[in-house]
């Protein structure tokens, strides 16, 4: 198990502005004040493991004696040897701060600031992985991102990594959602073919879509729609 703590996070204000659909002006100036107060509350860290795939199945893989079940995982990891299960969080402080605001707009802005921080930390982790293991291209999948890898698979994923709570303070609730809320989990794997879970997800109105829906590829898996 390896821990990177802290992951330095510098918020990209252009990205934040875009996600908030805001233009420079009074409201944006207020957001910048929020960014200033939010910055010290962002405590990004990650725990991950380097695993060699022990068994491959059409509907999953076995890592460290634990089976992960998903037809997407089975197919995408068919050529992989070494993979990197991970859990990454920005900690609980920002979402605790959100509760101190009564106005919806401020809570919403802090929520989006948290999302941008989480994405920034995840990108930084990905770059560090690539550099350390001399990998050119990587893709990732997470439990719950698609019905073809359901959310309850968080449990075996966490078991593979180890004591995630002691490492970075992230736990699972009874619905397998992560606490703190601003956390992400999954598996990074080297690949020559670019892949995003969004390619298999038909959701039309998702503001976070990273790749167009690929109906032909999605038809290879059942069920086809998304959980989030
Ligand atoms: S399109 Fe949206 S909901 Fe679907 S996998 Fe991508 S980010 Fe998730």
Each residue's pLDDT tens digit, 118-159: 999 999 999 999 999 999 999 999 999 888 899 999 999 999
- Ligand 1 contacts (CB < 6 A) are 145, 197-198, 201, 203, 206, 208-209, 226, 228
- CA-proximal residue: ligand 1, atom 3 (nearest): 228
Average pLDDT, the chain: 93
**What pLDDT is stored for residue 24 in this prediction?**
85
Centre of ligand 1 from the C-alpha of residue 78, in Å: 23
Centre of ligand 1 from the C-alpha of residue 26, in Å: 32
Q: Give this prediction's pTM.
A: 0.93
- Does the residue 98 lie in any domain? yes
Domain of 89?
A: 2-193
Which atom of ligand 1 approaches the CA of 146 most closely? 5
- CA-proximal residue: ligand 1, atom 6 (nearest): 198
Is the CB of residue 111 less than 8 Å from the CB of residue 98?
A: yes
- Does the residue 92 lie in any domain? yes
Centre of ligand 1 from the C-alpha of residue 214, in Å: 12
Which atom of ligand 1 approaches the CA of 201 most closely? 4
Centre of ligand 1 from the C-alpha of residue 37, in Å: 30
- Does the residue 209 lie in any domain? no
**What pLDDT is stored for residue 207 in this prediction?**
83
Give 219's DSSP letter.
T
The dihedral of CA 143, 149, 154, 160: what is its sign? negative
**What pLDDT is stored for residue 63 in this prediction?**
98
Q: Which CATH number goes with the domain that contains 10?
A: 3.40.109.40
**What pLDDT is stored for residue 128 in this prediction?**
97
- Does the residue 198 lie in any domain? no
Q: Quick: pLDDT tens for 36-46.
A: 999 999 999 99
**What pLDDT is stored for residue 222 in this prediction?**
61
Domains in the chain, number: 1
2 forms beta bridges with 48
- Does the residue 208 lie in any domain? no
Which atom of ligand 1 approaches the CA of 200 most closely? 5
Helices 13-20 and 26-38 cross at an angle (nearest 10°) of: 120
- CA-proximal residue: ligand 1, atom 5 (nearest): 198
- Does the residue 95 lie in any domain? yes
Is the CB of residue 183 less than 8 Å from the CB of residue 46?
A: no
- Does the residue 202 lie in any domain? no
157 forms beta bridges with none
- Express as a percent the part of the chain with pLDDT over 70: 97
Centre of ligand 1 from the C-alpha of residue 218, in Å: 13
138-141 and 2-4 as β-strands: parallel, antiparallel, unpaired?
unpaired
Q: In what order do the strands lie in the sheet with 66-69?
A: 55-57, 60-63, 66-69
- Does the residue 50 lie in any domain? yes
Centre of ligand 1 from the C-alpha of residue 142, in Å: 11
> Would the pLDDT of 224 be above 50?
no
Is the CB of residue 90 less than 8 Å from the CB of residue 117?
A: yes
């Amino acid at each position: 198990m390896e821990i990177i703590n802290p992951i330095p996070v510098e918020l990209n204000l252009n990205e934040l502005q875009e996600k908030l659909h805001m233009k420079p002006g009074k409201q944006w100036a207020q957001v910048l004040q929020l960014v200033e107060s939010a910055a010290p509350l962002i405590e990004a860290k990650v725990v991950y493991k380097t695993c060699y795939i022990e068994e491959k199945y059409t509907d999953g893989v076995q890592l460290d004696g634990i089976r992960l079940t998903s037809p997407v995982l089975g197919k995408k990891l068919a050529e992989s040897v070494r993979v990197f299960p991970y859990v990454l969080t920005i900690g609980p402080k920002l979402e605790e701060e959100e509760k101190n605001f009564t106005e919806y707009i401020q809570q919403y802005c802090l929520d989006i600031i948290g999302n941008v921080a989480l994405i920034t930390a995840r990108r930084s982790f990905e770059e560090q992985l690539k550099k350390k293991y001399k990998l050119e291209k990587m893709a990732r999948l997470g439990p719950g991102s698609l019905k073809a890898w359901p959310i309850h698979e968080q449990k075996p994923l966490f078991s593979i990594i180890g004591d995630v709570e002691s490492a970075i303070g992230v736990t699972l609730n009874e619905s397998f959602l992560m606490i703190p809320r601003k956390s992400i989990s999954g598996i990074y794997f080297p690949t020559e073919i670019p892949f995003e879970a969004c390619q298999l997800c038909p959701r039309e109105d998702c503001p976070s879509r990273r790749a167009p829906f690929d109906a032909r590829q999605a038809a290879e898996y059942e069920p086809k729609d998304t959980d989030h």
